Amino acid sequence: MPTLNSAKVGAIVAFDLSTLVDIGEALHEANWSPAYSFTDGVGANQAKAAFADERTLAASANESLDLAGGLTDVFGNTITFTKIKAIVVQAAAANSNDVVIGGAASNGFTSFVGAADDTIKVKPGGMLVLVAPDANGYAVVASTGDLLKVANSGAGTAVTYKIIIIGTT
């Protein structure tokens, strides 16, 4: 199994607001760039494996990504995650439908949501970023809590998405 030398997950949020006041203009600028770094290991701020792929789902289709033994890394090694430290899902801008994450009917990976039927919609061109840098991460339980469902929200057209999952094994 390869060694995860390093991984970094982050986001950049920047905006400015302005309004005219009696004399001049009031301006508020914000620049925020949270970033999380991971090294090889199983503790806080550590991970052991990464999965990355670009995938397409037909109209109204769904798939269940088996986090405990159903994915392979870029070298062809089977990944059996025990904890997820980061998930990034980016929906293609050309999609007409949403990419829906979660909601597996059975054996669902649900530790990042409140209940098995909870879902998150990633809008066309949008992105979902979840990071759990602590030692616990989001728990994966083989055979009972390891299927990450990804679905196309509608009929008529396919959806394409990119996904990166970083975690411990």
Domains of the chain (ranges plus CATH)? 40-168 (2.60.120.770)
pLDDT over 90 at 98, yes or no? yes
2-16, 52-66, 129-143, 148-162: least confident range:
2-16
Pairing of strands 46-47, 35-40: parallel
Per residue in 44-97, pLDDT (tens digit) is 999 999 999 999 999 999 999 999 999 999 999 999 999 999 999 999 999 999
Higher pLDDT, 124 or 2: 124
CA distance 46 to 36: 10
pLDDT band with cut points at 50, 70 and 90 for residue 135: very high
Examine the pLDDT at 1 and tell me if it is beyond 80: no
The proportion of the chain whose per-residue pLDDT surpasses 90, expressed as a percent, equals 95
Task: State the average pLDDT over residues 97-107.
Answer: 95
Q: Please name which of 73, 29, 163, 159 lies closest in space to residue 109, comparing C-alpha atoms.
A: 163
Alpha carbon distance 164, 51 (integer Å)? 6
Q: Is the pLDDT of residue 145 over 90?
A: yes
For residue 2, name the pLDDT band (cuts at 50, 70, 90).
confident
Taking the C-alpha atoms of residue 85 and residue 50, their distance in angstroms, rounded to an integer, is 10
Q: Which two tokens stand for residue 72?
A: 């392979």
The band of 34, judged by pLDDT with boundaries at 50, 70 and 90, is very high
